[in-house]
Amino acid sequence: MNFFDTHGHLNLAPLAEKWQQHWQEANQNGVTHTFVPGTSLPSSELSLELAGQQPNILGGLGIHPSEAAQLNLEETISKLNDLAAKHSVKLAGIGETGLDYFWLKENEEKKIIIAKQKELFQAHLKLALKYQLPISIHVRDKNTPITPESDNAYWDTLAMMKDYASQLTWILHCASGPESYIQEAVRQGALISFAGNITYPKAENIRKLLAITPKDRVLTETDAPYLPPQEFRGKICEPWMVTKTAAAIAEIKQTSLEQLYDNALRTFNLL
């Protein structure tokens, strides 16, 4: 049986130090491909370096939205564009990018940070459109309103996607948020990716999101080294563990592992 990790950080500690070992173990467990997103300029460069060494490691270029507040955006976006142009042959996807308001305090600075996150996100969307690459989107907020609200990461994301949704392959990675948001994202064309936290006893809300996602829109990921499946809680999540997550998703969704694998291949234009 084959597996595809659509979001795993072989480029971050502690996996990066022994990435060859982790990748070999994943291969031995049937993991044929992994998309390694960037979360910063250095981690993006490392992702592209790994992609140059292993053809089934798919390189990603991106900066996590939580970094936006500290960045000189003009300089950073220029460097992102330069990296994309330099490594376009190895580049398989854009991200991770998106909006994350989870830790933002309710003060005057919040609107400034949100504006910076949106500017950075838009730069990634333009890159994905320019190179016609799938984009992996991180979205998180402490509030989960069931109807659209401004200054909410979930609904702001969908508002920003309106000009891009029909032109891009886009993934909501590590799904969270209200059911109505996922329903609208699917209507706009999103693929929805689920990580090991879907196996957590208290994650009934995430299992509800899986239930309303069409079978041909479901993707599997580790988000390694984060969010290991329940039986490995407290340990580092490793790339091979996508096999456990995929098995849980297939059982909950009453779909096949073959369907999940084909969904991922199609997402990254590998069918």
Which CATH number characterizes residue 50's domain? 3.20.20.140
Tell me which residue has tokens 């969307």: 125
Please tell me the predicted confidence (pLDDT) of residue 165: 97
Three-state secondary structure call for residue 191 = strand
The pLDDT of 65-76, averaged and rounded, is 97
Q: How confident is the model at residue 25 (pLDDT cuts 50, 70, 90)?
A: very high
Please tell me the predicted confidence (pLDDT) of residue 207: 98
Which stretches of the chain are DSSP H helices?
A: 19-28, 41-53, 73-86, 108-131, 153-161, 179-188, 204-211, 242-253, 257-267
In the chain, what percentage of residues exceed pLDDT 90?
A: 99
Report the alpha-carbon distance of residue 17 to residue 21 in Å, rounded: 9
Q: How confident is the model at residue 227 (pLDDT cuts 50, 70, 90)?
A: very high
Q: Which residues contact 86 (CB under 8 A, 6 or more apart)?
A: none
Structural domain including 125 reads: 3-267
Please tell me the predicted confidence (pLDDT) of residue 128: 98
Amino acid residing at 131:
Y
Please tell me the predicted confidence (pLDDT) of residue 142: 97
The pLDDT of 45-54, averaged and rounded, is 97
- What's the whole-model pTM score? 0.97
Report the alpha-carbon distance of residue 84 to residue 91 in Å, rounded: 7
Q: How confident is the model at residue 144 (pLDDT cuts 50, 70, 90)?
A: very high
Q: Please, what is the average pLDDT of the chain?
A: 98
Buried b (16+ CB within 10 A) or exposed e, 21-50: ebbeebbebbbebbbbbbbbbebbbbbbeb
Please tell me the predicted confidence (pLDDT) of residue 241: 98
Structural domain total, the chain: 1
Provide the sign of the torsion angle of the four alpha carbons 86, 61, 98, 131, taken in this order: positive
The packing angle between helices 257-267 and 242-253, to 10°, is 110
Please tell me the predicted confidence (pLDDT) of residue 9: 98
Q: How confident is the model at residue 214 (pLDDT cuts 50, 70, 90)?
A: very high
Burial label for 107, CB within 10 Å (0-12, 13-18, 19+), is exposed
For residue 143 the two structure tokens come to 């509030």
Please tell me the predicted confidence (pLDDT) of residue 168: 98
Please tell me the predicted confidence (pLDDT) of residue 24: 98
